[in-house]
Chain A
Amino acid sequence: MEPAAARLIGAGLAAIGTGAAAIGVGIIFGQFLLGALRNPTASDGQFGRVFIGVALAEGLGIFALLIAILLLFVVKG
């Protein structure tokens, strides 16, 4: 297989990991909403922690996107 074709296929496979990040973020917000609808007054205090969790989960998915971008634009050949 030509290196250029292998790079493009590899970039496509690496970008699948960003879907996992989307699932993770959805789970975090969904669980927060489940708890917030049961205890609305306590939910405002925890809202900041939701964003910490979202950023941590999304950060790991961004690593997958980074591999895809590296393969597409930085690796030559």
Chain B
Amino acid sequence: MAEESAFDPIHQFVIKPIFNLHFFGVDASFTNASLFMVIVASAVAALMLLGTSRRALIPGRVQTLAEMAYEFVNSTLHMADLHDGRRFFPFVFTLFLFVLLCNVIGLIPYSFTVTSQIAVTGALALLVIGIVVVYGFIHNGTRFLRLFVPSGVPAALLPFIVPIEVISFLSRPVSLSVRLFANMLAGHITLNVMGGFVIALLSAGFFAIIAPLPFLMAIVLTAFELLVAVLQAYVFAILTCVYLRDALHPGH
């Protein structure tokens, strides 16, 4: 905005360093984003380690959570027809739990949403596409390029179809990262703006009587944001499975 408004919804996304570390001109400070990534990673590790420590036949609560997470990612791989890609199960499992906990922990007030930074989601998407390309070439050799030639296309149309397929493949990391990033960013900005409305109405004298309305809207939006957080993590995981299946079986 041209003028400095009373509330600034972008301020919650600013990265603040906690410990300053500079190596050879590279800023490698430990920031609030790093702190929350450490929190998420330790939460995932604690869930899985505590959940599998007892190995009881009738599971307790934490073991049930760990088993539910395993079963959910298992069904995701089956949904994407990735039956002979079982070696990717740990990767998809880690990715899914990391994105899920980053999204959900970001809903706690005064915390920081790691996946609302395009750098983080871009790195995750580039990792996925990098694994797809590298594994595709290792597993299939140059037959991997058959991915860009759909079956049953007459030869006259190929000079048009192949560039379109290449462009749509190159847009996969972009859409994967921007989908997660924009969903998280938009949700948190909306919540912040709703909170700003509550404050603005409360300090406007007579209009304080309708201040509960944006407060109720903020409650409804938080519930919606919880749904979006889980759904976006699931979509990230299942699109990873679909792209990995393309690496294993190129050609439609």
| Contact yes or no, A69 B232, CB < 8 A | no
Q: How many Å from the CB of A16 to the closest CB on chain B?
A: 15
Q: Majority SS of interface residues in chain B? A: helix
Q: Which residue of A lies closest to B238 (CB)?
A: A52
Partner of B79 from the list A49, A65, A72 (CB cut-off 8 Å) is A49
Number of A-B contacts (CB under 8 A): 53
Q: Which residues of A contact B1 (CB under 8 A)?
A: 4, 72-73
Q: In the complex, what distance in Å separates the CA atom of A77 from the CA atom of B3?
A: 10
Residues of A within 8 A of B232 (CB): 55
Name the A residues within 8 Å of B238 (CB-CB).
Answer: 48, 51-52
B126 CB to nearest chain A CB (Å): 17
- Asked whether A62 and B79 contact (CB < 8 A) given A48-B238, A52-B235, the answer is no
Q: Is the CB of B10 within 8 A of A62?
A: no
| Residue of B with least CB distance to A5 | B2
* Minimum CB–CB distance for B179 against chain A, Å: 4
Interface hit among B157-165, B180-188, B208-216 = B180-188
Cβ contacts B158-180/A at 8 Å (1 or 0 each): 00000000000000000100110
B96 to chain A, nearest CB (A): 14
Interface residues on chain B, size class? 20 to 34
A contact patch SS:
helix
A57 CB to nearest B CB, Å: 11
Instruction: State whether A62 touches B186 (Cβ < 8 A).
Output: yes
Q: Is A36's CB within 8 Å of the partner chain B?
A: no
How many chain A residues have a CB neighbour from B under 8 Å?
19
The yes or no answer to A59 lying at the interface (CB within 8 A) is yes
Is the CB–CB distance between A52 and B239 below 8 Å? yes
Closest residue of chain B to A46 (Cβ to Cβ) is: B79
Q: Which residues of the partner chain A approach B235 to less than 8 Å between Cβ atoms? A: 51-52, 55-56, 59
What is the CA–CA distance of A65 and B178 in the complex, to the nearest angstrom?
11
- Return the 5 tightest CB-CB contacts between A and B, nearest first: A55-B235, A59-B179, A4-B2, A62-B182, A48-B79
List chain B positions with a Cβ less than 8 A from chain A.
1-2, 9-10, 75-76, 79, 175, 178-179, 182-183, 185-186, 189, 231-232, 234-235, 238-239, 242
8 examples of A-B residue contacts, CB within 8 angstroms: A49-B79, A51-B238, A52-B238, A59-B178, A59-B182, A62-B182, A69-B185, A72-B1
